[in-house]
Amino acid sequence: MQNGHSAKMVGIGILVTGVLLLLILFLLTMYSNRKEGDIVIGVAWPFSVENDLFKEGVELAADEINTRGGINGRKVRLIEKDDEETVTGGMTVAQSFTEVPNLTAVIGHSVSFISTAAANIYENAGIVMLSPSATAPALTQKGYKYIFRNIPSDDEIARQLALYAAKQGHRRMVIYYSDDSYGIGLANSFEDHAQKAGIEIVDRFSYYADSRDLNRLYAKWKALDFDGIFVAHYMPDGALFIADVAKASISVPFFAGDAMDTPELYRVAGKAAEGTVVGTIFNSQDPREEVKSFINNFNSKYGKMPTPYAAQGYDAVNLLAEAVKEAGSTSPAEVAQKLRTFKNRPGVAGFHTFTENGDDIGDLVVKKVVKNGQFEYIN
Do 308 and 203 fall into the same domain? no
- 3-class state of residue 283 by DSSP: coil
Shared domain check, 373 and 229: yes
Sheet holding 147-149, edge to edge: 76-82, 39-45, 103-107, 128-131, 147-149
Domain that holds residue 68: 39-153+286-364
Question: Rounded mean pLDDT of 115-119?
Answer: 97
Q: Are residues 223 and 323 in the same domain?
A: no
Strand partners, 204: 175
Does residue 372 surpass a pLDDT of 70?
Answer: yes
Does residue 325 sit in the same domain as residue 232? no
CATH of the domain at 120: 3.40.50.2300
Q: What is the spatial distance between Cα 171 and Cα 150, in angstroms, rounded to a whole number? A: 32
Domains in the chain, number: 2
Looking at the fold, whether 189 and 278 belong to one and the same domain comes out as yes
Residue 161 reports pLDDT greater than 80:
yes
CA 200 → CA 102, 141, 174, 185, 230, distances in Å?
52, 27, 9, 18, 12
Residues with Cβ within 8 Å of 110's Cβ and at least 6 positions away in sequence, in order, are 45, 46, 50, 54, 83, 85, 133, 134
Same domain, 120 and 241: no
CA–CA separation, 246 and 202 (whole Å): 20
Please indicate whether residue 180 or residue 325 has the higher confidence score (pLDDT).
Answer: 325
Structural domain includes residue 25: no
pLDDT at 27 over 90: no
pLDDT tens digits, 5-21: 565 555 565 665 555 55
Q: What's the pLDDT tens digit per position in 268-289?
A: 999 999 999 999 999 999 999 9
Same domain, 211 and 297: no
pLDDT category at 379 given cuts 50, 70, 90 is confident
> 26-35, 93-102, 132-141, 207-216: which range is least confident on average?
26-35
Q: Are 134 and 186 in contact (CB under 8 A)?
A: no
The answer as to whether 344 is a domain residue is yes
Q: Within this chain, do residues 148 and 291 fall inside the same structural domain, yes or no?
A: yes
Per-residue pLDDT at 73 exceeds 80 = yes
Mean pLDDT for the stretch of residues 91-108: 98
pLDDT of residue 21: 52
Residue 113 lies in a domain: yes
Mean pLDDT across the chain, nearest whole number? 92
Could you tell me which of 339, 340, 347, 377 has the C-alpha nearest to residue 363? 347
Quickly state the pLDDT bin for 32 (edges 50, 70, 90): very low
Separation between Cα atoms, residue 35 and residue 10, nearest integer Å: 37
Q: Are 92 and 58 in contact (CB under 8 A)?
A: no
- Cβ burial 303-330 (10 Å sphere, 16+ → b, else e): eeebbbbbbbbbbbbbbbbbbbbbbebb
Q: What is the pLDDT of residues 232-259, one digit of tens each?
A: 999 999 999 999 999 999 999 999 999 9
